[in-house]
Amino acid sequence: MKTLEGKRAIVTGAASGIGRATAMLFAAEGASVVLADIDAAGGEATAAAIAEAGGRAVFVRCDVTRSDDCLRAVETAVGSFGGLEIVFNNAGIVRRADVVETTEEEWDRVMAVNVRSVFLMSKHAIPVMVEGGGGVIVNTGSGWGLKGGDRAASYCASKAAVVNLTRAMAIDHGPQGIRVACICPGDTDTWMLHDEARQLGENEAAFLVSSAARPIARLGTTAEMARAVVFLASDDAAWITGTTLVVDGGGLA
């Protein structure tokens, strides 16, 4: 029996990185997946890869900062697969700058993509989950949502908001049969980590080496993050809600 057999899911940021890896693992574990991303080419490529592997997925172009786009993703899950039990709110961006360097527009954009998106997708998904008898929402936080980091003021603030929003949603919607949890990845080998090096004007190779400085002396992989999300979304985590799962090779320790 596959872990997510018969489940219907939405994954935001599914065109690349942790989102793509998780969407593919969801499908491999038996879920039907709506792939929501602003990157149409990447999203369609993920859908094609899932189909080639024998899974079920449909791509919907979605700007997660827009309510109507998030509603369309939920409606796609219902229309294509008949319901919705799992949402992985994963889409995110980073701006490496302190509060003086950060423009108001950059601050608003980071908060919109990283926090508003969780609010909007959950707002539209929860009524469908309640009607279907319950579900699971997994949000992507960060180690820097649990402690501070240098030159990442907007990102740290946004991910701390995601962590506490997770707790609030778990309290509100647990009685309706909905679990809400948060994964807090450490530095993972994705395009976003490479982009951080460029934003900071640092040598990419040296930056990646410094990012791997933790008890398990390497970067995380998208596959490792995906396995953690599948666990939280599965019945193996049936009594886990309102909490964070740190997956960071010991970095916070």
Instruction: List the catalytic residues.
Output: 155
User: What token pair was written down for 50?
Assistant: 């899932």
Rg (CA), the chain: 17
Extract long-range pairs of 191-195: CB within 8 Å, 24+ residues apart: 191/16, 191/17, 192/17, 192/92, 192/93, 192/94, 193/219, 195/94
